[in-house]
Amino acid sequence: MMARIYPEKKVLETMAPASIGCTVVPLDYDPEACEAKDSRNVDSAPEGYSKIATFQSSDPNFLQYRKFGYLHSRVLSALQFDIEKLEKQLDKLDDFDKSSPNGDARKLSSLARDNLDGSPERLSNNEEFQNRFAKTRPEMLTELRAKLAEYDEMLLKTKAVTSLQKPSRMDYVSVKDWFVEEKPVIDKEATFILRKEDIITLRDGRECAAFDNLVERALAKVDKFLTVRCRCTVVRQLFTTPELRAKTSDKVIHYYAPARVDSLVNVIITAIIFMLMILPVYQMSEDDGAKPFEAIGVLMFFTLLFGCAMSSLTRASRQELFGASAAYCAVLVVFVSNFTTQTVNIEK
């Protein structure tokens, strides 16, 4: 048998050879309804933690949780203390076998002998050992192995958690305001969102997250203005998808497609870079009688402007910022020197 889907007719037809005598049975098929079922609606979610989960999973910016930095530190400190106690006991046992008449220095150089003679049965007659130590060396090493494994795992997980970024101010305020307005759970169980310094986001840091948030905020204001004054939803149509619009009917919550916002941000950044390259050249070409000091002033101003733009729009490191500013300045020096030379030749 062969199956064909005709989305434009919204009919699923099953076809078979005519000799078999099968009949064609149409089935109702609505792809839009299927897509709507895939995206959970925040408004229709049950009150409580189900609504919180639906809201936070509706956008990566809303995936904000506590990192419990204080508790991680407490647990690590407790594990560290336990390991230090075992370390001191192990050192004392090594000194006992090395210098005490009732010790056995040969066990320090042979693990096989230490495992055999260090058993509790063999040491039961050693009164000094029984009075000073509660565990044998093999028992200490076994406990140390477990403690170190637990400590290392906790240490690495704490490092991974602390390396997660804090949410942007706009994203944090959005989530906090939603909890305050909606009150999905009792106030006592929603206080975690008020611990701003302990909140982290699961979203990866974007290259220009602050600028992205500024663009999204501007889009929200423009959309609100056009909707109220002109009853125009062009912003919503351009920067959202039907799936995102189906998540909620709340006019306060705005979902924007990240790919479309990124495209707009890239266009804006490209335009800014283009203007920073063209404006100083245009300024020097218009001012034919510019003196060298005036040209240097133009160079310094636009180089400073380029550095500020790069530090604001990207996550460039200090080395990258210095290198890019130096390269930009070098390009401007070439143009400025050319215009200065042309001006001097004309005057002569």
209 φ/ψ angles, rounded to the nearest 5 degrees = -60, -40
Rounded CA separation 128/104 (Å):
13
- Asked which of 118, 139, 162 is the last residue of a domain, the reply is 162
Name the packing angle between helices 137-162 and 69-99 (round to 10°): 160
Number of domains in the chain: 2
pLDDT for residue 312 = 80
Name the packing angle between helices 209-225 and 258-286 (round to 10°): 100
Q: Does residue 30 lie in a domain region?
A: no
Rounded CA separation 41/64 (Å):
19
pLDDT for residue 148 = 96
Q: Does residue 317 lie in a domain region?
A: yes
SS3 of residue 17 by DSSP: coil
Rounded CA separation 10/7 (Å):
5
Q: Does residue 181 lie in a domain region?
A: no
SS3 of residue 246 by DSSP: coil
Q: Does residue 73 lie in a domain region?
A: yes
Q: Does residue 153 lie in a domain region?
A: yes
Q: Does residue 33 lie in a domain region?
A: no
Q: Which residues contact 94 (CB under 8 A, 6 or more apart)?
A: 108, 137
Q: Which residues contact 130 (CB under 8 A, 6 or more apart)?
A: 123, 124
pLDDT for residue 220 = 80
185 with 50: CB under 8 angstroms? no
Environment class of residue 280 by beta-carbon count within 10 Å: exposed (0-12), middle (13-18) or buried (19+)? buried
pLDDT, one tens digit per residue, over 199-210 is 999 987 665 567
Question: Tokens 């997660």 map to which residue?
Answer: 164
Question: Tokens 């840091």 map to which residue?
Answer: 205
- Asked which of 162, 196, 216 is the last residue of a domain, the reply is 162
254 with 223: CB under 8 angstroms? yes
- Asked which of 125, 141, 162 is the last residue of a domain, the reply is 162
pLDDT for residue 317 = 79
280 with 333: CB under 8 angstroms? no
Question: Tokens 């039907």 map to which residue?
Answer: 242
Full residue range of the structural domain in which residue 138 is found: 69-162
29 with 5: CB under 8 angstroms? yes
pLDDT, one tens digit per residue, over 212-226 is 778 888 888 888 888
| Continuous segment of H or E residues that includes residue 237 | helix 234-239
293 φ/ψ angles, rounded to the nearest 5 degrees = -70, -35
Reading the chain (348 residues) residue by residue, the pLDDT tens digits are 444 343 443 333 334 444 444 444 444 545 444 444 556 788 788 899 999 999 998 888 899 999 999 999 999 999 999 999 999 988 888 777 766 655 555 565 556 566 555 555 555 555 555 566 667 777 888 899 999 999 999 999 999 999 999 988 888 988 998 999 889 999 999 999 999 999 999 987 665 567 777 888 888 888 888 888 888 878 877 887 777 777 776 666 767 777 888 888 889 988 998 898 888 878 777 765 556 777 778 888 888 999 888 888 877 778 888 898 889 888 888 876 766 555 545 454
Distances from the Cα of 51 to the Cα of 40, 44, 182, 246, 325, angstroms: 10, 8, 10, 15, 48
Q: Does residue 137 lie in a domain region?
A: yes
Q: Does residue 335 lie in a domain region?
A: yes
